Amino acid sequence: MSVTFESGLLRAYFVAGSQDVPGQDLRKVLATMLDAGITAFQFRDKGASTLNEEQRVALGSDLRVQCHEANVPFIVDDDVDLAILLNADGIHVGQSDQKIQQVIKKVDGRRMFVGLSCNTAEQVAAANQIGGIDYIGSGPIYPTVSKDDADPAMGVDGLAALVQQANVPIVAIGGVTVKSLPAIAATGAAGVAVITLLTQSTDPYADTQAMRQAFAK
């Protein structure tokens, strides 16, 4: 299965690696989130992860199978070689990761969509000049504990300005809560990418449906 990109995939975008669910099996966590109705999954195994490369590939392969069985896109964070190895549907890169032009060139012809993190007007302006970017991730919208190197929170006004500027859909990241979904949706963002909102949720189904409904077109 290869998933064709469309903005609706960004509505309830779950991001996680082994470091985000200590003491748990990420396969079981993902199964719960797929049942709950997430619209995309990004495998972001880094930071405090203790997995070696062989373990990361094995885990990623299992997660990809789960996503494909659920007809949900499987996206790899940062590592284009891993994305190719795992036959991912998408690759997401940050400003400090691999150069976006190199990533686009490397995945060309593989039917893999590309996301780029852009947190400033200057970064969005640069992205607008590059062909092959399918969506932009912008944030943090609110203060977040999921990334040690996160930029200062931009708020919904900052997000709205980037949404107006960007040539492609934007998914909002950072500090997202269920209560903040209406304000984020009002900016014109296509959806939210979340870690903590779901990994620490007491009702993943309700919270996932809240995301889907907030950004339903």
Q: What residue ranges in 45-156 does DSSP mark as E strands?
A: 74-77, 90-93, 113-117, 135-138
Indicate which residue of 106, 110, 147, 212 is catalytic. 147
Indicate which residue of 11, 18, 64, 117 is catalytic. 117
Written as one letter, the residue type at 187 is T
Catalytic annotation present for 117: yes
* Among 187, 177, 181, residue whose Cα is nearest residue 214: 181
Sign of CA dihedral 103, 105, 106, 110: positive
Catalytic annotation present for 27: no
Q: Report the run of H or E that residue 153 belongs to, with start and end.
A: none
Indicate which residue of 44, 56, 64, 146 is catalytic. 44
Q: What is the DSSP letter of 117?
A: E
**183: Cα within 13 Å, side-chain hemisphere:** 13
Would strands 191-194 and 135-138 be described as parallel, antiparallel, or unpaired? unpaired
- 182 burial class (0-12, 13-18, 19+ CB within 10 angstroms)? exposed
Cβ neighbours of 198 (radius 10 Å): 22
Catalytic annotation present for 146: no
* Among 22, 25, 117, 13, residue whose Cα is nearest residue 74: 13
Catalytic site positions? 44, 117, 147
